[in-house]
Amino acid sequence: MELTAEWIAAFEQAVRNRDDDYILRITADMYPADISAILHELNSEDSKYVIQLLPPNVGADILSNLEPDIRKEFLQLFTAAEIAAIVEYMDSDDAVDLLNEQPVRMREEVMALLSEEQSNYIKDLLHYEPTCAGGLMATELVKANINWTVQRCIEEIRRQAENVEKIYSVYVVDDNDILIGRLPLKQIVIAKDYEPIKNLVIEDVIAVETYRDGEEVAALMQKYDLEAIPVVNVRGKLLGRITIDDIVDLIVEQADKDLQAVSGISEDIEEDDSVWKLTRARLPWLLIGMLGGILGARFIGIFERDLSLIPAMAFFIPLITATGGNVGIQSSTIVVQSLAEDSSPAVSIWQRLAKVMLVALLNGLVISMVVFAFNILIFNKILLAVVVSVALFSVVILASLMGTITPLILDRFGINPALASGPFITTANDLLGLAVYFLVARMIYAVAPL
């Protein structure tokens, strides 16, 4: 379905006119995710009207699919009772995300209004970090005791069918709820009813502890092609499971963040955000670049006399700074990507740097030689050509080092290393490049004056 501007305008008009028949008829054939996409285009009041007009289980799905900041905005018009009526129908992981966006008092009020069953599902999840396995998991799952038969297991699936939307495996536990293994639904379908689960269970099950980082969970699920992963506490007790749809969202979000970090955008923004939000997300990095530029101006100012003697030195400033920036951004991106995947065997920092240096040497040699040739051909100033090429070579080496080390340091301190690939590294390398260029010039012209 294509969401045209006309379609949205017609829908918006229907909402304003309280044309319930039209709204119900047109949303009847739609998936909740599509209705969410429409609500992104409406204001909070109209959205509330639509959500409350639809059955609460549909409203729950719609709210789960909304983006957090928009959901938060919409819900400001809702009372605690109205929120509770919908949260009652949400999966525990989505409910927790929604509640964590609310002020503490609202959260408590909603919790108090939920059924005991639903509040039990949610309660244990509220204290986990949203980005760790505990914060990503849902408590809804089907578990079976190791001493059951297949028949008993099917009854449990039937009992939970309403509650657990997607069942891939039944998790098998002992009397203390310690995870022992899993039983894929496929096996249950083809097994005999009287068969003991003990004989069928796959004990070799990949699980994660609650404290594991979301990115780690994503890497595991990708590596082993899992559609769901059980979550246990440190003693191995089964607490919940994470399904691949939430991990796909996490991967896409993280990729967006990395790309934005490299590009110098400091908030999660989209093209249809407000002008003010877009400006706010971009300005900080531009200002950092600007400060770097002013520092650079002051630095070049020191060499004003050299410049008035050899104005041609100014010609190569953009070449030097651009090369430093490009080399730095390349180096840091390679490190960022290798940090993201942990499949490669542990490499010592020294091996890493040795290799970076080798690549930098090769790149530096090629570039400075090509530039030297161009310089002789075009400008025919041998001494300046030497200065430029020596500086270029040094800048490539130094920018590679900076670009490699900075993300490693950020990562060590728990900061997203992709931040190092953005305007920060470019600005730093601009300054580095200028320093190298003018110092090399001073040295070479001191030995072989004009």
Q: In 3-state terms, what secondary structure has residue 328? A: helix
226, 220 Cβ separation under 8 angstroms: yes
> For its own copies, which is the closer residue by CB, 102 or 422?
422
> For its own copies, which is the closer residue by CB, 45 or 67?
67
**Six-digit token string for 373:** 């040739």
Shortest approach of its own copies to residue 104 CB, angstroms?
A: 30
Pick from 162, 157, 435, 118: which is nearest to 302 by CA? 435
> For its own copies, which is the closer residue by CB, 240 or 325?
325
> For its own copies, which is the closer residue by CB, 81 or 283?
283
> For its own copies, which is the closer residue by CB, 122 or 244?
244
Shortest approach of its own copies to residue 425 CB, angstroms?
A: 10
Shortest approach of its own copies to residue 175 CB, angstroms?
A: 24
Shortest approach of its own copies to residue 17 CB, angstroms?
A: 21
CA distance 446 to 63: 70
Shortest approach of its own copies to residue 113 CB, angstroms?
A: 27
Residue 166: burial class (beta carbons within 10 Å; 0-12, 13-18, 19+): middle
Shortest approach of its own copies to residue 44 CB, angstroms?
A: 18
**Six-digit token string for 169:** 């495996």
> For its own copies, which is the closer residue by CB, 106 or 295?
295
> For its own copies, which is the closer residue by CB, 108 or 165?
165
> For its own copies, which is the closer residue by CB, 201 or 327?
327
Shortest approach of its own copies to residue 178 CB, angstroms?
A: 20
30 phi and psi, to 5 degrees? -100, 150
Q: Which residue carries 């400001």 as its tokens?
A: 76
Shortest approach of its own copies to residue 83 CB, angstroms?
A: 23
Shortest approach of its own copies to residue 383 CB, angstroms?
A: 15
> For its own copies, which is the closer residue by CB, 82 or 364?
364
Shortest approach of its own copies to residue 314 CB, angstroms?
A: 4
Q: In 3-state terms, what secondary structure has residue 285? A: helix
> For its own copies, which is the closer residue by CB, 126 or 185?
185
Identify any residues that bridge with 229 across adjacent strands, giving them in sequence order: 242
83, 103 Cβ separation under 8 angstroms: no
Q: Which residue carries 């953009």 as its tokens?
A: 318
60, 90 Cβ separation under 8 angstroms: yes
Give, in order, the Cα–Cα distances in Å from 155 to each of 161, 190, 322.
Answer: 10, 16, 67
CA distance 97 to 135: 8
Residue 113: left (phi > 0), alpha (psi -120 to 50), or beta?
alpha
Q: Which residues of 365-376 are buried (b: 16+ CB within 10 A; e: fewer)?
A: eebbeebbeebe
Give, in order, the Cα–Cα distances in Å from 441 to each of 276, 380, 382.
Answer: 45, 17, 13
CA distance 336 to 353: 14
CA 107 to chain centre: 26
109, 75 Cβ separation under 8 angstroms: no
